[in-house]
Structure formats: C-alpha cells, structure tokens
C-alpha cells in the first residue's frame, strides 16, 4: 500500500476538493477502477478524505478532522456537476466585484440539478439559457480562474453584468447588484453586444442599455453603442421586475424601472 499511499498524498495536496472521476484519471487512467475505490475507502477510514456527497470529496489536512476542516465553497460549487460554470453573485465575488459576502453560491449547468446545502452554505444550479445550449455557446463569455491551485470556470465580467441585470434576485437584489457592478473599472461593450446577440432577448437589450446609459461616463460608453442597444429594444414597454408594479417608464428603452433603481438612491431602501 506504500506506493498507493504516496500517490494519494500527492493527489490530496493538489486537490483539496475533487470528484471520483478526477481521482480515477490521476491514479488509474488505464481503468483499474476497483483499486481506486478501495484506495478511496481506505483513506476515508483513515480520516484523510471527507465526503460532501456521493462522488464529491475533500482532503482532510493533518491535525484536522471532517468537522473542523474548512472546505472552500467556491470549489464545491465548481465541482458539484461536471459542466459547472460559476455565475451571478458567485462570479462577481470571484472576480473581485461583489459588495457583500454571501453564503449562497450559484452555478450554471446544461441540466437542472436540485439545490444543495452543506452547513450554512447553499448551492443553487441555474439552467444555462436554452438558446446558448442550442447554439453550443454555453461557454461564451466565460474564463478559467485558479482557486487554491484548481482551475474553475466562471462567467467573465461582461457576461456576468448581463446575467445579473437579467436576474437581480441571484445577486441579492437591485442594491447589491448596482453596488457590485459599479466596482467594475471598465467593460468591453463589443463583448456585451455579442453576448446579447446570442441571447436574442429584447428585454436584455433594454436593461443593459438603461444601465450603461446610467453609467456612460464611468464606463466611457459611446453613443453608438447605446444606439445599437436602442435599436434592439422591445416594441412595447416591459417591467424590469414583473413582481413590482409602478415605477418609471424609460421611453428610450421601453423599460419600466423600479423607482429605487431609477433614482439610484439606496439610503431609503
């Protein structure tokens, strides 16, 4: 078992959170699956490996146990499903723009998966937009980041901006969303427009247009960009948040905006 123990020790040093598939590929790419499961079971009994759920494991550091080991929730979200793309407020956090600390973590997948909770951390899967799956473009606007030596896939800042404007509820609401997005030093408008073209949703052109017009000086938004967004706005006025009635109609965008967003005055809310 000595050689196996050496191999698993090296693996655990570089894989604080891992899947059974990753262990299989590292230790036995030739397909000796039974040996991998035996090795995993042995190290679980030796309390070197903890279990988050079937197929998802974490390394227990020397001197710690399963109860005291701090497991990075971003890595859990990245490993819960094979095609996980960290998104919404979780992406803002990883990119360094989030305003507040959350214990809810969001990720995209091409299939629906039930929500998970480990301790105080909540994990929610959001289905990749159908049109992106249809166009084989689910990874458009994403990037790979390193987290504790592990590469994770996350939506980049331009796609994240569009996504949270579409679904503020996955960013903690309008106030948290605005405070977070306003931390971005710049945005690439061409990438935003390309993503909007892929999505083919008029309401997204309107939301993005309204937001960028509000922040045209901060992000140095050219009028030509706003005009492109305006040409693709919905034909009839739409509520940004259909659960809230009232608000202000922005004629340029055919968008009915909640009053606190229109005023951009968060102190009263």
Per-residue model confidence as pLDDT tens digits over 58-103: 999 888 888 889 999 999 999 999 999 999 999 999 999 999 999 9
Predicted pLDDT at 68: 86
Laid out side by side, the sheet with 56-59 consists of 17-19, 56-59, 49-53
pLDDT in tens, 162-194: 999 999 999 999 999 999 999 999 999 999 999
Decide: 184 and 157 in contact? Cβ < 8 Å. yes
Q: Band the pLDDT of 128: cuts 50, 70, 90.
A: very high
Predicted pLDDT at 39: 85
DSSP assignments along 43-83, one per residue: HHHTTSEEEEETTEEEEPPTT--TTTPPP-HHHHHHHSSTT
Q: Mean pLDDT, to the nearest integer, of 17-22?
A: 92
Q: Band the pLDDT of 32: cuts 50, 70, 90.
A: low
Q: Band the pLDDT of 242: cuts 50, 70, 90.
A: confident
Q: Band the pLDDT of 2: cuts 50, 70, 90.
A: very low
Q: Band the pLDDT of 244: cuts 50, 70, 90.
A: confident
DSSP assignments along 91-134, one per residue: HHHHHT--SS--SEEEEEESS----EEETTEEEEEEEPPHHHHH
Q: What is the DSSP letter of 182?
A: T
Q: Band the pLDDT of 3: cuts 50, 70, 90.
A: very low
Q: Band the pLDDT of 4: cuts 50, 70, 90.
A: low
Q: Mean pLDDT, to the nearest integer, of 224-233?
A: 98
Q: Where are the domains of the chain?
A: 2-59
126/108 Cα distance (integer angstroms): 5
Place of tokens 């009839």: 236
107/89 Cα distance (integer angstroms): 10
Please say whether the structural domain 2-59 has been given the CATH code 3.30.230.
Answer: no
Q: Is the pLDDT of residue 269 over 90?
A: no
51/43 Cα distance (integer angstroms): 11
């Amino acid at each position: 078992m000595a050689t196996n123990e050496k191999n698993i020790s090296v693996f655990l040093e570089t894989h604080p959170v891992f899947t059974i598939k990753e262990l299989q590929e590292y230790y036995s790419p030739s397909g000796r699956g039974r040996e991998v499961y035996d090795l995993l079971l042995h190290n679980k009994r030796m309390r070197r490996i903890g279990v988050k759920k079937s197929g998802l494991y974490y390394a227990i550091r020397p001197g710690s146990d399963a109860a005291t080991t701090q497991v990075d929730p971003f890595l859990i979200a990245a490993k819960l499903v094979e095609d996980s793309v960290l998104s919404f407020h979780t992406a803002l956090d990883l990119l360094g723009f989030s305003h507040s600390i959350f214990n809810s973590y969001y990720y995209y997948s091409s299939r629906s998966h039930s929500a998970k909770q480990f301790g105080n951390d909540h994990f929610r899967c959001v289905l990749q937009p159908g049109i992106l799956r249809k166009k084989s473009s689910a990874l458009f606007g994403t990037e790979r980041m390193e987290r504790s030596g592990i590469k994770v896939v996350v939506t980049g800042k331009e796609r994240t901006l569009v996504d949270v404007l579409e679904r503020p509820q996955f960013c903690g609401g309008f106030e948290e969303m605005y405070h977070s997005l306003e931390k971005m030093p710049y945005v690439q408008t061409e990438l935003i427009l390309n993503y909007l073209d892929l999505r083919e949703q008029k309401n997204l052109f309107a939301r993005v247009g309204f937001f960028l017009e509000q922040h045209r000086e901060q992000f140095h938004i050219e009028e030509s960009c706003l005009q492109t967004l305006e040409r693709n706005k919905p034909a009839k006025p739409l509520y940004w948040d259909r659960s809230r009635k009232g608000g202000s109609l922005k004629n340029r965008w055919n968008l009915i905006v909640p009053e606190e967003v229109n005023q951009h005055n968060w102190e009263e809310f």
